[in-house]
Amino acid sequence: MSRAVRTSPGTCHAYSSWLAAVGLDEPIRTHVIADDEEVQRERFLGSPTIRIDGADVDPSVEGRLDYGLTGRLYATVEGPQHHPADAWVLDRLRQQGSER
């Protein structure tokens, strides 16, 4: 069975803003998760999942096994959000930039 989970159209725009904030010019790649088999293989925690160099930006994701074709909520200091905290993404992008 194939199901679709939509992500906010603002997610790619936010990512572009995050990249600009740290002075990086990197391509944004999106990936459609097509079915439950791919969910498990990709360890997909829901949409949107944002990974930088293969690592999830959410620092609390270690050990999670609740993979699924679902919308994703991030536990931020502002409360549950449908997007990761800006600081998580910016920290990961800065780390990526310093490794190059």
Distance CA(73)–CA(82), nearest Å, equals 5
The backbone region for 15, taken as left when phi is positive above 0, alpha when psi lies in -120 to 50, beta otherwise, is alpha
Which pLDDT tens digit goes with each residue over 2-50? 334 445 556 667 777 888 888 877 777 888 899 999 999 999 999 999 8
pTM of the predicted model as reported, rounded to 2 decimal places: 0.78
